[in-house]
Amino acid sequence: MIYTADALTSLKPNAQWVLRNDELEWLDTEQTEPTDIEIQTELARLMYLEGVNTYQQERQYLPIAEQLDILTKDGLEALQTINLAVKSAVPKVLPVQADEDAYVKSHVDTYTFNKQLQAYTTAMDRLSKYILADGRVELTEMQDTTEYVVDAEGMLVLTDGEPTFIQEEVIVQTAIEPLEATVEVTTYSEDIDAEPVTTIIENPEITQDNLERVEAQAVVDATPTAVITKYKETI
């Protein structure tokens, strides 16, 4: 198996870095940190070479001398049967089926697509949350209870041949008040005789909320159509 650490070692021999849960912390001051795409490209190249090497080791035909002996004694059909058995036992599969460039490109394209899909999903989830400065309204809907509707004579009231349930209004989203738009910040001077200064600033929670929403929207706006289509298929 080939891992991200193998790609890093291949790209930047003797470099100092730490990899935790696929999060790379670059510590080396002599060599530059490789980009995500550079790492994935090298990872795919090493995977391809490993696959080819494994394939060549496992698909071992008889030595040429033995093949010639079988051909002479038993004929061409016998030799072809033996060689076909070797081919069937060790078939060509990816990455051996593709050439190196095609395999690497396919790997990088798939990685990029999945990363964009993950980023788009995260961004859409972030944008779906209510705006702190606006708050959230209460939402209700009518839902069935466990009791049936009966008429004045005590007979079940049917809807499309099925008993009708009594409905009640249920809160499906609680209301949340907007955050205060501003907060007071008091600054104290090192001069013990100086009066503290109080200023009014935008609520930092609102500032952070707005920033995260802008960043999420930027991800959404930059996402390719194919990724968005895939996202819609999964929700």
Query: What are the start-end ranges of the E strands in 55-138?
Result: none
Does the pTM of the predicted model rise above 0.85?
no
Q: What is the pLDDT of residue 136?
A: 97
Contacts 24+ apart (CB under 8 A), 30-37: 34/8, 36/115, 37/108, 37/112
With left for phi above 0 and alpha for psi between -120 and 50, is residue 138 left, alpha or beta? Answer: beta
Q: Residue 13: CA atoms inside 13 Å, Cβ hemisphere, count?
A: 0
**98-141 pLDDT, tens digit each:** 688 999 999 999 999 999 999 999 999 999 999 999 999 999 99
Torsion of CA 139, 142, 146, 148, to 10 degrees: 160
What local confidence, expressed as pLDDT, does residue 178 receive?
Answer: 97
224 closest CA partner among 111, 120, 105? 120
- What is residue 82's predicted lDDT score, i.e. its pLDDT? 74
- What's the burial of 90, exposed, middle or buried (CB within 10 Å: 0-12/13-18/19+)? middle
pLDDT less than 70: residues of the chain: 55, 58-59, 62, 83, 86, 89-98
* Positive or negative torsion for Cα 5, 6, 8, 9: positive
At 119 the pLDDT is: 98
Sign for the pseudo-dihedral over CA of 35, 41, 42, 44: positive
* Contact status, residue 220 vs residue 121, Cβ threshold 8 Å: no
pLDDT at 90: 60
150 DSSP assignment = B
- Which pLDDT belongs to residue 72? 85
Contact (Cβ atoms closer than 8 angstroms) between residue 180 and residue 201:
no
